[in-house]
Each structure stands twice: as structure tokens, then as C-alpha cells.
């Protein structure tokens, strides 16, 4: 049973009822028909919950007094993980002296916001107080089981899943040296799982590591370990894939297939620490890769029934661990340092099935505050690419937040692949802030069975201002040809003019253009 479903059963602290409420809300939003308008946009967790998953974020105690940060943490996410405050150096800094005050702040926050908590982490070589490594070998097992027993007992009912052991493997799949491995060999893992189960029989117990997201030597080692533990009757419920990805290293090899092989053992899988870093400065190419990586992780999890949810390793660049750990790298999260949404957020929302910007269209053609200008930058209407050039102009008297704005350009798909690649080739705003995707029209019309949807991660358009020219491009993944001549939004004009067959929405309301 998935973590989400399990928490719907009644248990301590009232979390399950709250989560069930969140799920019901998400389902109601989905089932009531019609995409939400931006004003009532589903949260990330509602989108995920509608598909039986949770969507969560790491957090940390020093961040919670930041009211704007805490508001989004509390509203957008259905699960939280303490980034540090349940680690051994915090919870048992000296032998037998336990301190759960910081962790309790996290579980209290979760309870107040109807969130589930992943406990992180009981046994790890890092952030381990010195006294553990200094123990005589024959005392390490007792110290470890005492630690697990005290912490898992304390959080019984408040923590839904534990990363019982974290990062046990080297890159080549051999066991990492640690005080635990040195004292007990790899049996420390089974011992830790058994101790955690004894302390909290209801918590889901996970092994968690990085670079185990795709097929490879390290995930092979995790797979062999999981299989052996299950054969030995050791209580193990799931595998955590941290997913600290980096655009310069490529996307994990066959993530979905890797998740599926763990699921086939009868285990849950969870994406536990997702972020996608890049070498700074960011540019449009890196930002596009990042958006794609985030979406691919969501796609993999949605495709695997036993993937219970996704946790981002904090949701904003403001509180990312990346710049401190990987000098020169950063910009890894869904929101920027000012808590503004980045293109990756739109990409995750789209992958979760959001139909952002597709809300109540209002009165078609109603004069609004924005207008669209269009020209075709395509010399051929029958080749394998469609190349609209767009400009938005603020015709009203107040500034418009571009993150509220979406634009649709309708075209016909013709035969060939039903999958698309989209590109921003140039924008004075920076292509990094321009989001773009192709979606199938809910109600296909002549020349309009698909549309290119363009949005903005951030920025604002002052009265009278123009976005300047945004050069867009799309192709089918099989590079088969289009016939644009009958496309709803297409025209052959090569200079910019007002385009009423391109729709502009603000907050989901149609403010310009006529939909097909
Ligand atoms: C990181 C925290 O985010 C930082 O604040 C801390 O300084 C170091 O640890 N893998 C893990 C997490 O399992 O516990 C790590 O968290 C990130 C890598």
C-alpha cells in the first residue's frame, strides 16, 4: 500500500484525516471537470495526490521564521522532510542525551498543515557525532540500536516513513566504510531495520542513497541488498532515491525501469531529495535541461504505481544546500532566491497534469490589458518546424505579472509522432524565463488539434511595455512535416501585427484573442 493510502487510515495525531482531506480536495478539483483557473490553481500536492502520490519538500528549522517561505511550504506541499533536525548529531549529540526539540518543530509544522513527514535519517556516516566513531567496536551495535529505538519511538505516529539507513554504498556498489560497517559488516543494515520496526511497527522503512536513480553498479548493489533483506524477512518497505541531479552529468539511465525492478520486489520507491543543479551562471540551455529533468522524474514516478511520491530538497534556491556543497553550482530548485516560480515549476506542474492557464475563457475577444502580436519566422509552411514569433504588449494602465500570463498558438498536428519538442530561440526577457510546451486541444477544431502554450517564470510588464520578440519553434519528435497553411493561428505575415487567433490569458482568464 502506498504511503499516501496508508496515511488515510486513522492513527495518532490526526494527520491521516487531514491528508485524506487534501486528497479529497485534489480529487474534487480534478473530477469536478474543467481545469482550475490560475486564481484557484491546484497545488503541487493536490496535482500529485490526484494521481495517488504525495509531493513534498525538505525544510529546515532556520527557514521557518521566513513567513513567505513557510506559507508556500505549508500550502503547496503535502509532505515535508527535515533537512537536518532528525540527524544523529542533532538528536543524540552525546551518548544517551537525546534532543528532539528541533525535529518536533518540523512534525508540529506538518501537523498544522496536514502534511506527512519522512524521517531523515537514523543511521548515516555523515553528521554523526564523534563519540560514535570513538566507541570500541563491540559497543557500536548497542549505540546504534539505542539511538534508533529512542528516536523512532519518540516520533511514532508523527513520522510516516524513515530513511533508516542513508548512503550505504560507494559509487562502484561496494559498501561504504563507516563506524557501523566497520563494527558489524553489512549486517548493520538488517539490524537497523529490525530495531526501527520494533520501535515503530507502523512506519514505512526505507534505505536511501544517491546515484541509485538509474540502472547502474550502485543501484545493482541496492537491488541485490534489497532482495537479500526481503528473502531474510527483514522489515524493509521501500527504497529512497535521493535524485540530486545535475544538468552537466545527464539524466539517470532508465529511471523508470530501475524503479520498476524495485517495485517488482514488492517495495515502494520514493524520490526523496530531488534537485537539479547546474554550473553557474544559468543560461537558457541549462534551464531547459533542468525543466526537462524535473519533468522526467515526475513522469517516471507517475508511470510506476509503487512510486509513492516525490520530495524536492527544499523548494527554493534561497535555502538550497547546493552552493555550499558544490562551489560554483546552484539554481537547483523550483523557485528562485526571491521565492518566484522558475520554469522548472511550470514543467513539474505540467508533468503532474496541470492545465494551467486553461481556465474559464471569459468573453472571447473582450478587450483586455494585453494584446498579442505575431509574425511567422518560417519561410516554409510545409517543413518539419513551426516557428511563431510573438510579442505581448500591455495595453492597460497597470503592470501585469508575467507569471500570471499564458499564450496559446493553435496548429494542426498532421500524421506522424504525437510528441513534440519546443524551443525558445530568442527573447529579450531571456529564454530561461519563457516556458513552452505543446498540448492536445481539449476540443479539437479545424486547424487546431494542438496548441503551443507559452508562459513566463517571472517578470512584469509595465503599462505600454512590450515583451519584445519571443522566437519560438516546435517540431514533432519524429521530425515529420506539418502543413501549416490551414493552421488556426498561422499567417504568412513576416512583420508583426495584432493577432486575434492567438489567445492570451491572465490568471486563466482570456484577455485577448478568439479561441478556435
Ligand atoms: C544536507 C543538508 O541539506 C545540509 O543542510 C547539510 O549541511 C548537509 O546535508 N544527502 C542527504 C541529505 O541524505 O541529508 C543531505 O542534506 C544532502 C545529501
The arrangement of strands across the sheet holding 470-476 comes to: 420-426, 470-476, 388-394, 370-376, 497-498
Q: Ligand 1 within 6 A of 487 CB?
A: no
Closest by CA to 35, choosing from 442, 405, 419, 347, is: 442
Look at ligand 1, atom 7, and give the residue with the nearest C-alpha: 321
59: phi then psi, degrees, rounded to nearest 5? -150, 175
The arrangement of strands across the sheet holding 405-411 comes to: 434-445, 448-456, 405-411, 502-506, 509-512
Question: What is the atom index within ligand 1 of the atom nearest the CA of 244?
Answer: 18
- DSSP H or E segment with residue 12: none
- Point out which residues pair with 180 in neighbouring strands: none
Query: How many Å lie between the centroid of ligand 1 and the Cα of residue 373?
Result: 47
Q: Ligand 1 within 6 A of 289 CB?
A: no
Work out the number of other CB atoms within 10 angstroms of the CB of residue 128.
18
Which residue in the list 76, 167, 453, 484 is annotated as catalytic?
A: 167
DSSP at 367: -
Question: What is the atom index within ligand 1 of the atom nearest the CA of 210?
Answer: 10
Q: Ligand 1 within 6 A of 83 CB?
A: yes
Query: How many Å lie between the centroid of ligand 1 and the Cα of residue 345?
Result: 22
**CA dist., res. 252 & res. 246, Å (int):** 10
Q: Ligand 1 within 6 A of 166 CB?
A: yes
> CB-based contacts of 313: which residues, under 8 Å, 6+ apart?
57, 58, 83, 242, 244, 273, 274, 275, 320, 321, 332, 333
Query: How many Å lie between the centroid of ligand 1 and the Cα of residue 325?
Result: 9
Q: 15-351 and 370-512 share one CATH topology?
A: no
- DSSP H or E segment with residue 49: helix 44-49
**How many CA atoms within 13 Å lie on the side-chain side of 143?**
24
Question: What is the atom index within ligand 1 of the atom nearest the CA of 208?
Answer: 13
Q: Is 366 a catalytic residue?
A: no
Instruction: Specify whether the CB–CB gap between 441 and 406 falls below 8 A.
Output: no
Q: Which CATH number fits domain 370-512: 2.60.40.710, 3.40.50.150, 1.20.1250.20, 2.60.40.10?
A: 2.60.40.710
DSSP at 231: H
**CA dist., res. 42 & res. 349, Å (int):** 9
- Point out which residues pair with 445 in neighbouring strands: 448
Counting ligand 1 atoms within 8 A of each CB, the residue from 325, 326, 330, 333 with the most, and so the one to mutate, is 325
> CB-based contacts of 494: which residues, under 8 Å, 6+ apart?
375, 376, 377
What's the whole-model pTM score? Answer: 0.68
Q: Are strands 54-59 and 307-312 parallel, antiparallel or unpaired?
A: parallel
Counting ligand 1 atoms within 8 A of each CB, the residue from 61, 83, 241, 272 with the most, and so the one to mutate, is 83
Q: Give 10-residue mean pLDDT values along the chain (516 residues).
A: 37 35 40 43 96 98 98 98 98 98 98 98 98 98 98 98 98 98 98 98 98 98 98 98 97 97 98 98 95 96 98 98 98 97 96 72 46 90 94 83 92 88 90 91 90 91 86 94 94 88 87 86
**CA dist., res. 444 & res. 433, Å (int):** 29
Work out the number of other CB atoms within 10 angstroms of the CB of residue 151.
26
State the pLDDT at residue 444: 87
99: phi then psi, degrees, rounded to nearest 5? -140, 105
Return the SS3 of 371: strand
- DSSP H or E segment with residue 276: strand 268-279
Return the SS3 of 481: coil
Query: How many Å lie between the centroid of ligand 1 and the Cα of residue 84?
Result: 7
**CA dist., res. 108 & res. 111, Å (int):** 5
- Point out which residues pair with 455 in neighbouring strands: 406, 435
Closest by CA to 91, choosing from 99, 83, 80, is: 99
Query: How many Å lie between the centroid of ligand 1 and the Cα of residue 494?
Result: 52
**CA dist., res. 373 & res. 353, Å (int):** 29
Query: How many Å lie between the centroid of ligand 1 and the Cα of residue 279?
Result: 19
271: phi then psi, degrees, rounded to nearest 5? -90, 115
**CA dist., res. 195 & res. 491, Å (int):** 69
Q: Ligand 1 within 6 A of 242 CB?
A: yes
Q: At what angle do helices 284-303 and 255-263 cross, to 10 degrees?
A: 20
What are the boundaries of each domain within the chain? Answer: 15-351, 370-512
Q: Ligand 1 within 6 A of 84 CB?
A: yes
Look at ligand 1, atom 2, and give the residue with the nearest C-alpha: 83
**CA dist., res. 127 & res. 449, Å (int):** 54
Q: Ligand 1 within 6 A of 321 CB?
A: yes
Q: Which residue has the cell 542533532?
A: 90
- Point out which residues pair with 498 in neighbouring strands: 373
Q: Extract the C-alpha cell encoding 382.
A: 510545409
Q: What separation in angstroms does the CA of 134 have from each of 84, 93, 140, 142, 410?
A: 22, 13, 9, 14, 67
Look at ligand 1, atom 15, and give the residue with the nearest C-alpha: 83
Question: What is the atom index within ligand 1 of the atom nearest the CA of 324?
Answer: 7
State the pLDDT at residue 233: 98
Closest by CA to 162, choosing from 125, 206, 132, is: 206
Look at ligand 1, atom 16, and give the residue with the nearest C-alpha: 83
**CA dist., res. 272 & res. 309, Å (int):** 8
Q: Ligand 1 within 6 A of 273 CB?
A: yes
Is domain 15-351 given the CATH code 3.30.70.360 in the classification?
no
Query: How many Å lie between the centroid of ligand 1 and the Cα of residue 127?
Result: 9
Look at ligand 1, atom 5, and give the residue with the nearest C-alpha: 321
Query: How many Å lie between the centroid of ligand 1 and the Cα of residue 88?
Result: 13
Which residue in the list 273, 484, 509, 515 is annotated as catalytic?
A: 273
R_g of the chain, CA atoms, integer Å: 25
Question: What is the atom index within ligand 1 of the atom nearest the CA of 58?
Answer: 3
Q: Ligand 1 within 6 A of 317 CB?
A: no
22: phi then psi, degrees, rounded to nearest 5? -65, -40
State the pLDDT at residue 459: 84
Q: Is 171 a catalytic residue?
A: no
DSSP at 502: E
State the pLDDT at residue 355: 86
- Is the peptide bond prior to 202 cis by the omega test (within 30 degrees of 0)? no
State the pLDDT at residue 30: 37
DSSP at 217: H
Question: What is the atom index within ligand 1 of the atom nearest the CA of 272?
Answer: 13
State the pLDDT at residue 236: 98
Query: How many Å lie between the centroid of ligand 1 and the Cα of residue 87?
Result: 10
State the pLDDT at residue 43: 97
**CA dist., res. 359 & res. 357, Å (int):** 6
Query: How many Å lie between the centroid of ligand 1 and the Cα of residue 135?
Result: 25
Instruction: Specify whether the CB–CB gap between 4 and 308 falls below 8 A.
Output: yes
State the pLDDT at residue 428: 86
Closest by CA to 277, choosing from 236, 245, 317, is: 245
Amino acid at each position: 500500500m502506498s504511503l499516501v493510502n496508508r496515511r488515510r487510515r486513522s492513527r495518532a495525531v490526526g494527520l491521516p484525516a487531514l491528508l485524506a482531506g487534501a486528497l479529497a480536495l485534489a480529487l474534487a478539483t480534478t473530477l469536478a471537470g474543467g481545469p482550475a483557473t490560475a486564481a484557484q490553481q491546484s497545488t503541487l500536492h493536490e496535482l500529485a495526490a490526484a494521481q495517488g502520490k504525495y509531493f513534498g519538500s525538505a525544510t529546515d528549522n532556520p527557514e521557518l521564521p521566513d513567513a513567505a517561505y513557510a506559507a508556500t511550504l505549508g500550502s503547496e506541499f503535502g509532505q515535508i522532510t527535515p533537512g537536518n533536525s532528525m540527524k544523529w548529531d542533532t538528536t543524540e549529540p552525546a551518548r544517551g542525551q537525546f534532543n528532539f526539540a528541533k525535529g518536533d518543530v518540523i512534525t508540529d509544522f506538518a501537523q498544522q498543515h496536514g502534511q506527512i513527514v519522512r524521517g531523515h535519517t537514523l543511521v548515516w556516516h555523515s553528521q554523526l557525532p564523534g563519540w560514535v566513531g570513538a566507541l570500541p567496536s563491540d559497543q557500536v551495535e548497542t549505540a546504534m540500536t539505542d539511538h534508533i529505538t529512542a528516536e523512532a519511538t519518540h516520533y511514532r505516529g508523527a513520522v510516516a516513513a524513515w530513511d533508516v539507513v542513508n548512503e550505504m554504498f560507494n559509487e562502484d556498489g561496494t559498501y561504504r566504510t563507516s563506524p557501523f560497517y566497520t563494527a558489524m559488516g553489512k549486517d548493520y543494515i538488517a539490524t537497523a531495520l529490525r530495531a526501527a520496526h520494533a520501535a515503530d511497527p507502523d512506519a514505512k522503512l526505507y534505505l536511501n542513497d544517491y546515484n541509485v536513480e538509474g540502472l547502474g553498479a550502485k543501484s545493482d548493489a541496492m537491488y541485490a541488498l534489497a532482495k537479500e533483506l526481503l528473502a531474510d524477512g527483514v522489515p524493509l518497505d521501500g527504497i529512497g532515491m535521493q535524485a540530486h541531479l545535475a544538468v552537466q552529468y545527464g539524466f539517470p539511465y532508465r529511471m523508470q525501469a530501475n524503479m520498476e525492478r524495485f517495485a517488482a520486489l514488492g517495495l515502494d520507491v520514493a524520490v526523496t531529495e530531488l534537485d537539479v543543479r547546474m554550473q553557474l551562471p544559468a543560461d537558457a540551455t541549462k534551464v531547459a535541461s533542468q525543466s526537462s529533468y524535473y519533468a522526467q522524474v515526475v513522469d517516471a514516478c507517475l508511470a510506476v504505481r509503487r512510486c509513492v511520491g516525490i520530495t524536492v530538497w527544499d523548494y527554493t534556491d534561497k535555502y538550497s544546500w547546493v552552493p555550499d556543497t558544490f562551489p560554483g553550482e546552484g539554481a537547483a530548485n523550483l523557485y528562485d532566491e526571491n521565492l518566484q516560480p522558475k520554469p522548472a515549476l511550470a514543467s513539474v506542474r505540467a508533468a503532474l497534469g496541470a492545465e494551467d492557464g486553461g481556465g474559464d475563457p471569459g468573453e472571447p475577444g473582450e478587450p483586455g490589458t494585453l494584446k498579442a502580436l505575431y509574425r511567422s519566422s518560417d519561410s516554409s509552411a510545409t517543413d518539419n518546424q513551426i516557428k511563431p514569433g510573438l510579442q505581448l504588449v500591455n495595453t492597460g494602465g497597470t503592470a501585469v505579472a508575467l507569471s500570471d500570463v499564458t499564450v496559446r498558438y493553435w496548429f494542426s498536428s498532421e500524421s506522424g509522432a504525437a510528441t513534440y519538442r519546443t524551443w525558445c530561440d530568442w527573447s529579450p526577457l531571456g529564454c530561461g524565463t519563457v516556458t513552452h510546451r505543446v498540448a492536445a486541444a481539449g476540443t479539437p477544431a479545424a486547424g487546431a488539434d494542438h496548441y503551443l502554450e507559452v508562459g513566463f517564470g517571472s517578470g512584469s510588464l509595465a503599462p505600454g511595455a512590450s515583451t519584445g520578440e519571443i522566437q519560438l519553434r516546435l517540431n514533432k519528435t519524429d521530425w515529420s512535416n506539418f502543413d501549416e497553411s490551414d493552421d488556426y493561428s498561422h499567417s504568412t505575415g513576416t512583420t508583426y501585427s495584432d493577432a486575434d487567433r492567438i489567445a492570451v490569458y491572465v490568471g486563466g482568464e482570456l484577455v485577448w484573442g478568439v479561441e478556435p
